[in-house]
């Protein structure tokens, strides 16, 4: 049965649209250096995230869930490639169909042979020859771009995790803002405060936040790349740094004189990073949070942090009742976005990092037992 002209035109148009859709998704995801939202990548992301949610919803232990979720980002990347190739395959099949000698089955074979450059089926005619070349080029370009895409992702991942790993020694595992200040002041029991190193740390994390904001919104699968250690996460690490900056500015303004500007810049960069990443993930985060809305963190949690800092002699210059409103004024800028991202990727439930869908209890930073002092050298 010969297909009518109108039918051939309709089939070719549908096939061409599918090919263009796949090409547009590839260009927007891999090449364009800004967040480009497309339905193909959104559906793939939702499908993979939904599948992992079903696979882990009955797993109560966080460490076990983390082992499963460690493969989530890789699955998203492979699924994106499969979706692009599937769209191209269906699109070129429909483009071949009007020229196929034996109907849809023959078009299916011609498309597979051309797209994957196998060459075992070569339809005759000038029109089919052009489609063969287009299919072969499309398949090679997509696979090549995906191969080149991976080093970019892992380079950004390595830059991110280097700073996270360095922070773990200072802020504990999982990281916590008050712990960062307490350990920096305590300086491993040397008796000499190292708060003078905080300006450099805040400057480093300001740059880190800018890097993560750019890379993780442009290449969204990076958000779900998990840290090598199960109790470590880029989300809780940035949150700890921001909380420490807010704390030192509000409870120790005199001690923070040298660190005030770097801390404020770090806070600005940090909540901009959280906001941009959360929006790229589809969360509705306001441009200017309402200061009157308050925060989820309680005053009792704040007092517990002050007690932790006092145990190491940290200079608390402002009474907690007076410092609390200022702390709330800082944290309201980033808490909503940080909690949304942490819950979405099921980050480690560190202190002050918000609730999780599985109801995990908060995990405090591990504190090793005090070590023995070095023996005196013989005279």
| DSSP letter, residue 193 | -
**Token reading at 242:** 């921001």
Over 90: is that where the pLDDT of 203 sits? yes
Q: Are residues 100 and 181 in the same domain?
A: no
In this structure, are residues 346 and 283 in contact, taking their beta carbons and an 8 Å threshold?
no
Return the pLDDT at 7: 75
Of 116, 148, 180, which one is at a domain's C-terminal end? 148
230 — pLDDT class (breaks 50, 70, 90)? very high
The mean per-residue pLDDT over the stretch 316-341 comes to 95
Q: What residue spans of the chain are helical by DSSP H?
A: 5-26, 39-56, 62-69, 72-96, 104-115, 126-171, 177-186, 198-218, 234-251, 260-280, 299-311, 320-331, 335-344
- Domain co-membership, 112 together with 222: no
Q: For residues 100 and 230, state if they share a domain.
A: no
128 & 182 share domain: no
What's residue 78's pLDDT? Answer: 94
| Arithmetic mean of pLDDT over the chain | 89
Mean pLDDT of 76-93: 93
320 shares a domain with 181: yes
Q: Tell whether 305 and 339 lie within a shared domain.
A: yes
Return d(Cα 183, Cα 193) in angstroms, integer: 9
Question: Which residues sit opposite 350 in a β-bridge?
Answer: 363
Residue 356 located in a structural domain = no
Give the three-class secondary structure for 6. Answer: helix
The structure tokens listed for 6 are 């109108």
Residues 176 and 271 in one domain: yes
How far apart, in whole angstroms, are the C-alpha atoms of residue 297 and residue 335? 9
Same domain, 119 and 216: no
Q: Which residue has the higher pLDDT, 52 or 149?
A: 52
Asked whether residue 11 carries a pLDDT value surpassing 80, the answer given is yes
Residue 261, C-beta contacts closer than 8 angstroms, at least 6 positions apart: 199
- pLDDT digits 0-9 by tens, 284-301: 998 888 877 889 999 999
Are 204 and 324 members of one domain? yes
Phi, psi (rounded to 5 degrees) for 350: -70, 165
Residue 366 counted as domain residue: no
For residue 311, pLDDT beyond 50: yes
Average pLDDT over residues 150-163: 94
Residue 364 lies in a domain: no
Question: Is 110 found in the same domain as 230?
Answer: no
Residue 79 has which token pair? 């699924």
In terms of phi and psi (left: phi > 0; alpha: psi -120 to 50; beta: otherwise), the region of 221 is alpha
Question: Is 94 found in the same domain as 218?
Answer: no
Q: What percent of the chain has pLDDT over 90?
A: 63
Q: Does 378 score more than 70 pLDDT?
A: no
Q: Given this model, what pLDDT does residue 376 score?
A: 41
Query: Any residues with CB less than 8 A from the CB of 38 and at least 6 apart, and which?
Result: 24, 25, 28, 29
| pLDDT of res. 371 | 53
375 confidence band (pLDDT: 50, 70, 90): very low
Instruction: Please indicate whether residue 345 or residue 258 has the higher confidence score (pLDDT).
Output: 345
The count of structural domains within the chain is 2
**Quick one: pLDDT at residue 379?**
38
Q: What is the value of pTM for the model shown?
A: 0.89
Confidence of residue 82 (pLDDT cuts 50, 70, 90): very high
- Tell me the average pLDDT across 26-49: 87
- With contact defined as beta carbons under 8 Å apart, do 114 and 131 qualify? yes
Clarify whether residues 180 and 77 are in a common domain: no
Q: Is the pLDDT of residue 369 over 80?
A: no
Range of the domain at 270: 172-344
């Amino acid at each position: 049965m010969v297909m009518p002209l109108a039918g051939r035109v309709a089939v070719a148009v549908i096939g061409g649209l599918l090919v263009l859709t796949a090409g547009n998704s590839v260009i927007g995801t891999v090449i364009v250096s800004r967040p480009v939202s497309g339905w193909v990548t959104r559906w793939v992301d939702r499908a993979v995230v939904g599948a992992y949610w079903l696979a882990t919803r009955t797993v109560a232990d966080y460490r076990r869930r983390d082992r499963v979720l460690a493969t989530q980002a890789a699955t998203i990347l492979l699924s994106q490639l499969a979706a692009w190739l599937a769209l191209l395959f269906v699109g070129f099949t429909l483009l071949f169909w009007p020229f196929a000698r034996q109907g849809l089955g023959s078009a299916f074979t011609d498309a597979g042979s051309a797209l994957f450059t196998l060459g075992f089926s070569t339809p005759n005619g000038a029109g089919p020859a052009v489609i063969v070349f287009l299919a072969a080029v499309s398949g090679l370009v997509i696979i090549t771009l995906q191969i080149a895409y991976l080093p970019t992702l892992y380079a950004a991942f390595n830059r991110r995790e280097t700073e996270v790993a360095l922070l773990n020694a200072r802020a504990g595992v999982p990281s916590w803002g008050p712990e960062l200040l307490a350990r920096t002041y305590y300086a491993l029991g040397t008796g000499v405060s190292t708060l003078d190193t905080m300006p450099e740390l805040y400057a480093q994390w300001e740059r880190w936040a800018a890097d993560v904001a750019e890379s993780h919104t442009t290449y969204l699968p990076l958000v779900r790349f998990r840290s090598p250690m199960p109790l470590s996460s880029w989300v809780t690490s940035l949150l700890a740094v921001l909380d420490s900056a807010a704390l030192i500015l509000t409870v120790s303004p005199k001690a923070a004189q040298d660190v005030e500007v770097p801390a404020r810049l770090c806070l600005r960069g940090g909540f901009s990073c959280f906001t941009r990443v959360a929006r790229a993930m589809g969360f509705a985060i306001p441009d200017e949070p309402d200061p009157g809305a308050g925060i989820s963190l309680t005053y009792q949690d704040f007092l517990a942090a002050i007690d932790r800092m006092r145990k190491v002699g940290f200079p608390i210059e402002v009474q907690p009742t007076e410092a609390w409103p200022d702390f709330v004024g800082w944290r309201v800028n980033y808490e909503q976005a940080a909690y949304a991202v942490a819950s979405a990727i099921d980050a480690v439930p560190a202190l002050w990092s918000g609730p999780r869908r599985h109801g995990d209890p908060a995990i405090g930073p591990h504190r090793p037992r005090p070590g023995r002092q070095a023996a005196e050298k013989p005279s």
